[in-house]
Amino acid sequence: MRNVYLDHQAATPLLPEVFDAMKPYFTEHYGNASSLHQHGLRVRDALKKARQQTAALIHAESEEEIFFTSDGTESSNLAIKGVAYANERKGKHLVVTATEHPSVMNSVEFLEKQGWTCTRIPVTPEGLINPADVAAAITPQTVLVAVHHVNHDIGAIQPVAEVGRLCAEKGVPLYVDCEASAGWLPIDVREFGASLVSFSPHRFYGPKGVGILYRNKRARLVSILHGGVQEGGRRAGTENIPAIVGAGVAAEIAQRELPARMAHTAHLQQRLWDGLRTHIEFIKLNGPVPGPRRISTNLNLSTEFIEGEGQLLLCDLNGIAVASGSSCVSKSLKISHVLAAIGLDHALAQGNLILTLGMANTEEDIDYVIETFAKIVAKLRNMSPMWEEFESGEIDSVIAPRGIGKSFSQHAAEVSGKAAH
Amino acid sequence: MRNVYLDHQAATPLLPEVFDAMKPYFTEHYGNASSLHQHGLRVRDALKKARQQTAALIHAESEEEIFFTSDGTESSNLAIKGVAYANERKGKHLVVTATEHPSVMNSVEFLEKQGWTCTRIPVTPEGLINPADVAAAITPQTVLVAVHHVNHDIGAIQPVAEVGRLCAEKGVPLYVDCEASAGWLPIDVREFGASLVSFSPHRFYGPKGVGILYRNKRARLVSILHGGVQEGGRRAGTENIPAIVGAGVAAEIAQRELPARMAHTAHLQQRLWDGLRTHIEFIKLNGPVPGPRRISTNLNLSTEFIEGEGQLLLCDLNGIAVASGSSCVSKSLKISHVLAAIGLDHALAQGNLILTLGMANTEEDIDYVIETFAKIVAKLRNMSPMWEEFESGEIDSVIAPRGIGKSFSQHAAEVSGKAAH
Amino acid sequence: MSETYTLYNPTVMDHFMNPRNMGDIKDADGVGEVGAAACGDIMKISIRIKDGKIADARFKTFGCGSAIASSSMATELIKGRTVEEAMNFTNQEVVSALGGLPPVKIHCSVLAEEALKAALEDYMKRHPEAAAEARQTEAVPA
Amino acid sequence: MSETYTLYNPTVMDHFMNPRNMGDIKDADGVGEVGAAACGDIMKISIRIKDGKIADARFKTFGCGSAIASSSMATELIKGRTVEEAMNFTNQEVVSALGGLPPVKIHCSVLAEEALKAALEDYMKRHPEAAAEARQTEAVPA
Ligand SMILES: Cc1ncc(COP(=O)(O)O)c(C=O)c1O
Ligand SMILES: Cc1ncc(COP(=O)(O)O)c(C=O)c1O
C-alpha cells in the first residue's frame, strides 16, 4: 500500500541534517546554558547561533529579539498574556481575529476572566479579515492586536502588513502568529510591522519541544513562567538545547529552500484540488482558492452528505494520513471554531477534511489520493442516510442546490430535536 | 588534563539507552499525538508508555496522574498557579518553604501581585523546616502547601512525609518539588502524602525539554498554558514526543539503578568532603552533614577569604566543572536566596561552591579534585586582601574564630560604606 | 507498516470497515431516523417484523467510525428478538458487544439505541395491536 | 577538549590567570581598600610614588575573575603616570584595555578605579604638599 502523509500541519519529520546537528547536544555537549564552565559556555555559544539563525528566517533586526519557549502554544500564551500583564496600567483591551488558534483564543478567554475585554474581528466566508475592522476596534485602552499570518485550518493568508500599518498609526503592538506559515512562506517582521511574531520548527522539519517568540525591543513583555533568569528573564527554565540547536538549523534550511517548497507544494495543491473536484461531486474548498491568498500547503475540504472522521479513518486504512475539523474528531464534540467563524453550514463542517502537503509528496501520491478518496466518498455516501435522502429529493445540497427538498440542517434539527450549532 | 564533571545538579548527559529509545521519534515516528491516523496513534501509544514509566518511578497509582510539561520550571508554575487559580473561591493563601527553588518563589510572588498571600516557612541553619511551623501557618484560606523534597543548593532533605500527614489532617494539598531528588532518592507520592509532585528527567540522565507534574486525582488543578486539549486539558501544546519517550526510559533506568546510584555517590561524597576538610583550612559544609538528611550527590561549600566565581573559573581551567551560589555568578548580583535563608554570613556566601556528583565520577576524580582545589584555594588566598588581614589579625574567621580582630562583614561594610546584605 | 495502530479496538474497526446490515429494507415495518444534537450524527434504522420478532434490521449512518460500528452492531444484536425484548434494548449492550468505546463516543451507542427505538415506535404506530401487546408484556415486570 | 570556551575574553582571562602586580608594597606611599556594596567584592591597591610619578602599584583582590583582571589591568595601566594624571584615571580605561567586560561586570572596573583613587588620597593625606600641587595642576584645565 502506498503511504501518503498529508498532515504536515500536525507534524513534519525531522530533517536528517537537523538531527545530525542536534545529536552532539544530547550525550556529549549536555551542559546547562546557565553554567559558567566549559560545558555551559559551549552550549551558550550554540544558543546564540540558533538565535541568529531563527532571527534571520523572519528578518529580525537582532538575535536578541528571539526568545525560545517550549512550543507554539507557549509562545502564543506569552505574547498575549506577557503583553497584557506588562501593560495592565495602560489598558485592558485586546483585539483579535475570530479565527486565531485556540492557544490565542483561550489565552484571551483566560484574561477576560481576570478583567480584560476583547474584541473579536469577524472574517469573510473565505476566512479573511478586513483591516479596517481592526482599526475601528482599537480603543485608547487597547494594548495588543493579534492577527495570525496564515490560518491553521483553512490556509487563508491574512493582510497582516496592512494591519501592521494601521496598528503603527495607532501605536498599538501587533502580534502575528506565524505557526502555520513559517518555513513555507516568507516572513518579514518589519514588513509586517509586527511587534511580536511566533512560530515553531516542528512545522517545518525541525524538532518538537521548542517554540520561538520574536519581540521587538520596544514592545513591553513580562514573563509568564516564573523562575530563573534564562532568556533575558522572559522565560525561566532550563533551555532545551538540542531542540533549540535543531530549530536554528531547520530555520536556516527553510530559508534556503523556501522558493522550492512553495513551488513544489503549490503545484501539488493545484493538481490535488483539480483532481478532487473533477472526480467527486458535491465537494467544496473552504478558504480562499489556491493563489496569493492561500498557503500552498493547505486544502480544506467539505464533502457533502458524509462525515469527516469516517473519511479520515478510511483514508488512514488506505495509507493516507489527513486531519479533520469535524466535531466527531474533537474531544469537545464541537466543529472547528474556524469553520464556525466562516459561517460554514454545519453539514459541511461535519464533512470536513484537512489535507496539508509537504516536500515528500509526489504527483503519484496525489493521483493515488484522488483515486482513493473518490472511492471512500462513494463508500460512505452509500452508507449515508443523507445521500439517500438527497437522491430521493427529500433534502437539498448546500454546495450545489437543486431547489428541491429541505436543507440538511433543517432535517438534522428535526431528527435530533435541536438545531445543530 | 583530567576532566571531572561535578555539576550534575545543572545537567546530566543523556544515557545512550535513552537516546536510542528517542531516536525513532525524530525522523520516523514523527506524528502528532493529536492526530487520529497511524502516525498519531503510534506516538499516542508511546506517550502512554512513558506515562506509566514515570508514574512508576514515584509510585503513583495511575499513569493518568502524570502530566507532561516542558521542564521543572513549568511544572512548578503549573503546580502553584494551577492549584491557586482552581481554588480561588476557597481561599487565596499559600504556605511555602523559604528555600524553594526560584520557579516556586517567583510563581508565588506573581500570585501575591494578584491578591494572594503567602507564608514563608523559615529553615534552620542546616536548611531544614520544622513541620509544626507548616501546620501552624495553615489557615482556612490556605489552598496549597509547597515543601520541596531536596534543596537544589544545599542538598537538605526535608521531612516531607511528616508535612504530608499534617496537610492531610488539615485537608490542604501538598506540593513537593522533587527536581533535585528524582532519580537519586526513592520517591513515593503516597508515603509523602503529596497531592502534587514535580521532577525532570534532565537531572537523571534523561532529556531536556520535558518536565513531569504528578497530580493526585482529588486535587483541583487548572491549566496555565491555554490552547488545545492535550494532557487532559491541563497542558495545551504539541507534545514533545521524543523527549517524553526519553523521560519514560530514563525513569525506568533510574528506578532500577537507584540503590547503585545512592551507594556510589554517597561513597564519593564522603571521600570528597573528608579530603577537602583535611587539606583545606577554614572550609565549611553548608546544609546537613552527609547522611540521612543530605542527598548523596551534593556538597555545598564555603571557603573563607576567597570568592566563589574565581574558584569556579580556576576549577574549570583545571577541568573541573562546578557551580557557585556567590553573588558574582548571579546576574542579579545577589547571593543564592537559600544561603541567605540559612543565615549564612555574607563572606561565606561569597566563597560558595556547589559540587554535585554523578555516576561517571571516580575515586581518582575525587582525589584529583581535592588536590587541585587545595592549590586553587592557596592561589586565591594569596591574592586576597582578606586572607592577609586575617593573617595579620585584623579580621577574624567566621568558620573558626580566634577571637582576634573584627568580623569580615564589619570590615566589608566599612570599606564599602554599606552593609553587605 | 509492520504494526497497524487503530483508533478503536479491533471489533469496532471491523464493524466500521465491514458493516453488517448496511442498507434499507424495502417496505420496512418500521423506520426510525434520529440525530445527535451534540455532534450532528444521523442514524436511520429500518426493521422488518415477523411473528412478533425482528426478522431483519438495516441501518444507514451519517457519522463517525464508532457511530457506524454502533449501528452495525445494534442491528446485528437485535435480529431475532421479540418486539418486547427489543424495547428493553439499551446502548450498554452495544458497548459491551463492541468491547468498549472511548468515553467521548458512548453517545454513538445511545444514538443506535434511539434509532432502534424510533423504528420500533414507528412499527407500533403502524400496528396498534402489536403496541398494545408490547405494553402489556412490559407492564408485567414493572 | 579541542576548543576552550571562556567566560571572559582572552585578555581578561589572561589577567585573571596571570595577574600582574599582585601583592603588597612594603612601606607603600599610599594604600586604598574599597568594597563593592552590590556584590561584596573587596579590592586593595598600594602605590609607591617617586618624583611625583607612580613608580609601583600592587593589588590584592577578593572578588570574581573580572575583579581580579580589573585590578591587574588598573595597576598595569597606572604605573609611570604622574599623580595628577592618575587622579583623572577612569574605569573606562580598564574596560577598554581589557577589551570589554560583560555589562553586569562593569562595576568591577569601577571598583579598581575607586581602589586606586583611595590609594592616591591616602598618599596625599600623608603628603599634603603633593596634594596641594596636584590640586593646583588639576585646577588649570578646569
Ligand atoms: C496557528 C497556530 N498557532 C499556534 C499553535 C500552537 O502550537 P504548538 O502545537 O506548537 O503548541 C498551532 C498549532 O497547531 C497553530 O497552528
Ligand atoms: C528544586 C528545583 N525545582 C525546579 C527547578 C526548575 O527546573 P528546570 O530547570 O527544569 O526548569 C530546578 C532547577 O534547577 C530545581 O533545582
> How remote is the CA of residue B9 from the centroid of ligand 2, in Å?
9
Interchain CB distance below 8 Å, B42 and C5? yes
Residue B420: predicted pLDDT: 44
Residue C137: predicted pLDDT: 63
| A419 vs B119, residue with greater confidence | B119
Best residue for ligand 1 mutational test, from A9, A75, A103, A175 (most atoms within 8 Å of Cβ): A103
Whether A232 is covered by a domain: the verdict is yes
Q: What is the mean pLDDT of residues A8-21?
A: 98
- Span A323-373, pLDDT tens digits: 999 888 877 778 899 999 999 998 899 999 999 999 999 999 999 999 999
Contacts of A416 in chain C (CB under 8 A): 34-37, 40, 42
Among the ranges given (A240-249, C2-11, D126-135), the one the predictor scored with the smallest mean pLDDT: D126-135
Whether B10 is covered by a domain: the verdict is no
State whether B360 and B372 are in the same domain: yes
Whether B93 is covered by a domain: the verdict is yes
Closest CA–CA distance from residue D25 to any residue of chain B (Å): 13
Residue C43: predicted pLDDT: 96
Cα torsion B323, B327, B328, B332: sign: positive
Cell numbers placing A123:
472574517
Q: Nearest Cβ partner of A76 from B5, B227, B322?
A: B227
Question: Which chain C residue's Cα is nearest to B36?
Answer: C7
Whether B373 is covered by a domain: the verdict is yes
Closest CA–CA distance from residue D60 to any residue of chain A (Å): 24
State whether B151 and B240 are in the same domain: yes
Residue A43 touches partner D, C-beta closer than 8 Å: no
Residue D136: predicted pLDDT: 67
pLDDT above 90: residue A381: yes
- Span D59-104, pLDDT tens digits: 999 999 999 999 999 999 999 999 999 999 999 999 999 999 999 9
Whether A6 is covered by a domain: the verdict is no
Whether B28 is covered by a domain: the verdict is yes
Residue C67 touches partner A, C-beta closer than 8 Å: yes
Best residue for ligand 1 mutational test, from A9, A149, A179 (most atoms within 8 Å of Cβ): A179
State whether A169 and A221 are in the same domain: yes
Q: Nearest Cβ partner of A27 from B13, B102, B106?
A: B13
Residue A218: predicted pLDDT: 95
The whole-angstrom separation of Cα C108 and Cα D23 is 86
DSSP symbol at B58: T
pTM of the model as a whole: 0.95
Contacts of B36 in chain C (CB under 8 A): 7
Whether B6 is covered by a domain: the verdict is no
- Span B277-307, pLDDT tens digits: 999 999 999 999 999 999 999 999 999 999 9
The pLDDT-based confidence of A421 (bands split at 50, 70, 90) is very low
State whether B293 and B212 are in the same domain: no
State whether B296 and B338 are in the same domain: yes
Burial letters A347-356, b for 16+ CB under 10 A, else e: bbbbbbbbbb
Q: Which atom of ligand 1 is nearest to the CA of A151?
A: 1
Domain end position, chosen among B254, B288, B311: B254
Q: What is the mean pLDDT of residues B52-71?
A: 98
Catalytic residue ranges of A:
328
Domain end position, chosen among B254, B284, B309: B254
Give every strand in the sheet of D30-35, ordered side by side.
D30-35, D42-50, D53-62
Percent of chain C whose pLDDT exceeds 90? 82
In terms of residue numbers, what domain contains A103? 16-254
Minimum CA distance residue for ligand 2 atom 15: B179
State whether A326 and A367 are in the same domain: yes
State whether A143 and A206 are in the same domain: yes
State whether B239 and B332 are in the same domain: no
- Span B369-402, pLDDT tens digits: 999 999 999 999 999 999 999 999 999 999 999 9
Domain borders along chain C are 22-135
Tell me the helix, strand and coil percentages in chain B, rounded to 5: 45, 15, 40
Domain with A208 in it: what CATH number?
Answer: 3.40.640.10
The pLDDT-based confidence of A420 (bands split at 50, 70, 90) is very low
The whole-angstrom separation of Cα A183 and Cα A204 is 5
Q: Which ligand is nearest to the CA of B105?
A: 2
The pLDDT-based confidence of C139 (bands split at 50, 70, 90) is low
φ, ψ of residue B126 in degrees (nearest 5) = -85, -10
Residue D67 touches partner B, C-beta closer than 8 Å: yes
Q: Is A237 in the pocket of ligand 2 (CB under 6 A)?
A: yes
Per-residue CA distances from A138 to A106, A112, A142, A176 (Å) = 20, 17, 6, 16
State whether A97 and A161 are in the same domain: yes
State whether B340 and B376 are in the same domain: yes
Compute the mean pLDDT over every residue in chain C, rounded to the nearest whole number: 91
> How remote is the CA of residue B287 from the centroid of ligand 1, in Å?
45
SS3 label, residue A104: helix
Residue C55: predicted pLDDT: 97
State whether B38 and B101 are in the same domain: yes
Question: Which chain A residue's Cα is nearest to B241?
Answer: A208
Domain with B367 in it: what CATH number?
Answer: 3.90.1150.10
Q: Does domain D22-135 correspond to CATH entry 3.90.1010.10?
A: yes
Q: Which ligand is nearest to the CA of A148?
A: 1
Contacts of B240 in chain A (CB under 8 A): 70-71, 208-209, 240, 243
Burial letters B162-191, b for 16+ CB under 10 A, else e: bbbbbbeeeebbbbbbbbbbbbbbebebee
pLDDT above 90: residue B38: yes
Gyration radius from chain A CA atoms: 23
Minimum CA distance residue for ligand 1 atom 7: A72
Q: How many CB atoms lie within 10 A of CB A392?
A: 10
Q: Nearest Cβ partner of A10 from B7, B35, B242?
A: B35
Q: Which atom of ligand 1 is nearest to the CA of A203?
A: 10
Residue C37: predicted pLDDT: 74
pLDDT above 90: residue C26: yes
Indicate contact of D with C: 3+ CB pairs under 8 A: no
Closest CA–CA distance from residue D53 to any residue of chain B (Å): 25
Residue C38: predicted pLDDT: 73
Closest CA–CA distance from residue B78 to any residue of chain A (Å): 9
Interchain CB distance below 8 Å, D33 and B3? no
The whole-angstrom separation of Cα C63 and Cα C74 is 15
pLDDT above 90: residue A413: no
Domain end position, chosen among A208, A235, A254: A254
Whether B61 is covered by a domain: the verdict is yes
Relative orientation angle of helices A308-317 and C10-17, to the nearest 10 degrees: 100
State whether B169 and B41 are in the same domain: yes
Active site residue B167: no
- Span A261-270, pLDDT tens digits: 999 999 999 9
Domain count, chain A: 2
Q: What is the mean pLDDT of residues C66-88?
A: 97
Question: Which chain A residue's Cα is nearest to B109?
Answer: A226
